[in-house]
Amino acid sequence: MRVAVFSAKLYDKTSLHDADRDGAHELSFLEPRLNRDTAALAEGCEAVCAFVNDELDAETLAVLAEHGVRFVALRSAGFNHVDLRAAAETGIAVARVPDYSPYAVAEHCAALVLALNRKTHRAYNRIREHNFALTGLLGFDLHGRTVGVIGTGKIGLCFARIMTGFGCRVLAYDPYPSDAAREAGVEYVSLDELLAASDIVSLHCPLTPETFHLIGRERIALMRPGTMLVNTSRGALVDTAAVVEGLKSGRIGHLGLDVYEEEAGLFFEDLSDQVIGDDAFDRLNAFPNVLITGHQAFFTAEAIEAIAATTIANLTAFEVDGIGLHPVSIGESPELEPSSTVPSTS
Ligand code: NAD
């Protein structure tokens, strides 16, 4: 099948070619992000392969359909950037990579917690300048602290297990509680209780219209003073302006972000020679107790290999059976029912 691979980086090219060892698909690698303006680049392809910051809204899908595209293979677990209703209406099938390495994301999340707590990012810079003073680097023992996990699916459960390993008490909120999490020692509570009791709050739920700005002014007000907030899930789960206020007031004591609600156009690009016109991002970056990584939590060798293997399997399954191996469609299950793309580009 001819496939246009959008937002393609060198590692996509390498890993997808390795996974498609037999050359079953004709992969055409395109650097631009997929959106309504670039969709015509898929001319002549039956499928497109898209990543997290590609915009698969109704207009983009219409252009794709017009150019003969019948299948979207997402190289991600999240599908908040796809208008599933419009895809169904235009006859375009969608599939994703539901499970590649929850360890990759959970371990990165733990890395953010550890670095923020012990100020590793600041210590690294100080030592390079021969500043060996410890002032400002005071951390706290994780042992005995309370961690609140919002969403105990594959990644949340993995993160909960890591934190229980540190001797933390783990509270969780999820509309669909899991026995595996309970067996791992997780205590389910209401969202408000979790926010009021946790020293560290970590987000692991999908972005849907219901979870858009899940962490906003009102919920930040429920948090304990000095709470550490970590988001490795999707940027728009967090209201950036509210979080900036929370950091200024000290209600949020540390902030770790791997995702950002306006990350499209910033993350995955080298913009080191450019002025960034996003004041909110620069404001966040200016806090010493904020640590941002550019959507790299998934980025391990194991995860990249698994993403490529599942993507090729989705393409092959669609070519053979007319449906991807891991289809995503409206109505599949309650948690897979975003009524439309959420008002975010992440
Ligand atoms: P998953 O589907 O296994 O788990 C998601 C969990 O969230 C489910 O248990 C679900 O019941 C729960 N949930 C749904 N709505 C909720 C709500 N309103 N409040 C609390 N919980 C809710 O997904 P996963 O594989 O664990 O991935 C979680 C998220 O991580 C994905 O949606 C994706 O956005 C993000 N992610 C980020 C990266 C990265 O590189 N930063 C990589 C992969 C996934």
Q: Name the residue among 320, 256, 243 with its Cα closest to residue 71.
A: 320
Q: Give the residue numbers annotated as catalytic, written as ranges.
A: 234, 263, 295
Look at ligand 1, atom 21, and give the residue with the nearest C-alpha: 151
Determine whether the shortest distance from the Cβ of 258 to ligand 1 is under 6 A.
yes
Residue 310 makes CB contacts below 8 A (sequence gap 6+) with 97, 100, 325, 326
Residue 155 makes CB contacts below 8 A (sequence gap 6+) with 102, 105, 106, 109, 204, 232, 233
Distance CA 323, CA 96 (A): 12
Q: What is the pLDDT of residue 329?
A: 84
Cα 234 to ligand 1 centre (Å): 9
Determine whether the shortest distance from the Cβ of 219 to ligand 1 is under 6 A.
no
Please report where in the chains the tokens 């209780």 appear, as a residue: 193
pLDDT tens digits along 245-294: 999 999 999 999 999 999 999 999 999 999 999 999 999 999 999 999 99
Distance CA 254, CA 290 (A): 6
For residue 210, the ligand 1 atom closest to its alpha carbon is 18
**Residue 88 has what DSSP assignment?**
H
The rounded Cα 81 to chain-centroid distance in angstroms is 11
List the pLDDT tens digit at each of the 346 positions of the chain: 999 999 999 999 999 999 999 999 999 999 999 999 999 999 999 999 999 999 999 999 999 999 999 999 999 999 999 999 999 999 999 999 999 999 999 999 999 999 999 999 999 999 999 999 999 999 999 999 999 999 999 999 999 999 999 999 999 999 999 999 999 999 999 999 999 999 999 999 999 999 999 999 999 999 999 999 999 999 999 999 999 999 999 999 999 999 999 999 999 999 999 999 999 999 999 999 999 999 999 999 999 999 999 999 999 999 999 999 999 988 643 334 333 344 333 3
Diameter of the chain measured on Cα atoms: 64
Phi-psi map region of 323: left, alpha, beta (phi>0 left; psi -120 to 50 alpha): beta
For residue 232, the ligand 1 atom closest to its alpha carbon is 41
Distance CA 24, CA 178 (A): 39
Determine whether the shortest distance from the Cβ of 215 to ligand 1 is under 6 A.
no
Look at ligand 1, atom 35, and give the residue with the nearest C-alpha: 233
